[in-house]
Amino acid sequence: MVGVVRTCVQSILKLVNSVIGMVGLAMIMYSLWLIRSWQRNMGHLSFDHSHHHPIPWFIYTILGLGITLCVITCSGHIAADTANGCCLYSYMVFVFLLLMLEAGVAADIFLNHDWEEDFPDDPTGRFDQFKKFVRSNFDICKWIGLSIVCVQGLSLLLAMILKALGPHQYYDSDDEYVPERVPLLKNAVLPPPYVIGDPVYGSKNDAWNIRINDKATR
């Protein structure tokens, strides 16, 4: 029964973890599109981090978050497949730190009225466009953000349940056996028991009688 529950939790964790990976891939693709647009506007193929061209921190932030989500997704799939305690602990730490980062940013935005001053100027202008898009579609963006946070929280909960269930049990010793195989062992034909010890010899009278009988038959 525990094995069935463990398998179900592993499958659900992989499915939920895949949603996080898709969000990471979407952020990477969006950041690559922003990089291409930035390069087209600047008129060259590489970033020039000089005084005339500031660093496009917004693009780098989106790209870094996307890569981080993909790394977390890979670690989550490994942890869900192996059910190893160390892998599950690492995955839970990554997801917990990500949730704390998101909670800190959300608290700064909702509690600090001057939160825009905490971010540097974006030379690409994409950050201002992103803010306008979020404000014009606040309800949709709010539910998308809450859904992503719920998925991350669910993945953390499933990892904790899988850690409590423990890894798969493998029995390599002859003294240990799998309980599910007991009925098969009951139906098997076992060899008769034997005892190892010193040989038992008959008495001298028995040996004498055997010799007399042999001579009489001759």
pLDDT in tens, 45-76: 454 444 455 667 888 888 999 999 999 999 98
Residue 91 domain flag: yes
If one counts the domains in the chain, the total is 1
Query: Is it the case that residue 204 has pLDDT exceeding 80?
Result: no
Domain hosting residue 79, numbered range: 1-45+54-165
Residue 195 domain flag: no
The answer to whether the CB of 112 falls within 8 A of the CB of 118 is: yes
Residue 215 domain flag: no
Residue 198 domain flag: no
Residue 93 domain flag: yes
Residue 182 domain flag: no
**DSSP 3-state percent helix, strand, coil across the chain (nearest 5):** 75, 0, 25
pTM: 0.66
Residue 72 domain flag: yes
Which pLDDT score is estimated for 68?
A: 92
Which pLDDT score is estimated for 45?
A: 46
State how far the Cα of 14 lies from the Cα of 170, in Å rounded to an integer. 22
Confidence band, pLDDT 50/70/90 cuts, at residue 97: very high
Residue 121 domain flag: yes
